[in-house]
Chains A and B, each alone.
Chain A
Amino acid sequence: MIEIENLSYQIAGHPILSDVSLRLEKGGLVALVGPNGAGKSTLLSLVARLVPLQSGSISIDGLQIGKTADDVLARQLAILPQDLSVASRLTVRDLVGFGRYPYHKGRPRAEDRDRVDAVIGQFELTAIADRQLENLSGGQRQRAFVAMAFAQDTEYLLLDEPLNNLDISASRALMTLLRDLVTAQGRTVVIVVHDINYAAAYADRIIALKQGVVVADGTPREIVNSALLREVFQTGAEVAVVGGRPVVLV
Chain B
Amino acid sequence: MAGPGLRVRLFLLAGLLALCCAAYLSLGVRGDWGFILAFRGQKLAALLLVGFAVSWATVIFQTITGNRILTPSVMGFDALYLLLLTGLVWAIGARTYQGLPPQGMMVANVVWMCGASLLLFRVVLRAGEGDMMRLILTGVVLAVLFHSLTAYFRRVIDPNEYAVVQAASFARFSNVDTGLLAVATGFCLAAGAAVWRMRYRLDVLPLGPVLSTSLGEPPHKAQWQVLLLVSVLVSVSTALVGPVAFFGILVTSLTYLIIPSARHGDLLPAAALIASIILVGGQTVMERLLDLSTPLSVVVEFLGGLIFLFLLLRSLR
Contact = CB atoms under 8 A, between A and B. Distances in A.
A198 interface: no
A121 interface: no
Nearest to A85: B208
Contacts of A118: none
Contacts of A80: 210-211, 214
A70 interface: yes
Interface size, A (range): 20 to 34
Contacts of B66: 87
A73 interface: yes
B214 A79 contact: yes
Given A105-B200, A107-B200, A87 B215 contact: no
Interface stretch (A88-96, A207-215, A242-250): A88-96
Residue among B203, B209, B213 with the highest chain A CB neighbour number at 10 A: B213
B262 A49 contact: no
Interface in B214-234: 214-218, 221
**Chain B's interface: helix, strand, loop or mixed, by majority?**
helix
Interface size, B (range): 20 to 34
Interface string A216-244: 00000000000000000000000000000
Given A73-B216, A78-B214, A50 B200 contact: no
B206 A102 contact: no
B206 A87 contact: yes
A89 B213 contact: no
A48 interface: yes
Contacts of B191: none
B213 A49 contact: yes
Contact of B213 (A48, A98, A149, A160): A48
A184 interface: no
Contacts of B203: 106
Contacts, number: 67
B210 A79 contact: yes
Nearest to A75: B216
A204 to B, nearest CB: 23
Contacts of B214: 48, 74, 77-80, 149, 152
Interface in B275-311: none
A71 B262 contact: no
A249 to B, nearest CB: 35
B217 A70 contact: yes
Contact of A101 (B208, B216, B221): B216
A14 to B, nearest CB: 20
Contacts of A94: 262
A48 B218 CA distance: 11
Interface string A103-131: 00111000000000000000000000000
A10 B153 CA distance: 45
Contacts of A79: 210-211, 213-214
A81 interface: yes
B206 A101 contact: no
A86 interface: yes
A165 B208 CA distance: 19
Contact of A86 (B200, B207, B216): B207
9 contacts: A70-B218, A71-B216, A72-B216, A81-B211, A83-B208, A87-B206, A88-B206, A94-B262, A106-B201
3 nearest A-B pairs in the assembled complex, by CB-CB distance:
A106-B200, A74-B216, A81-B210
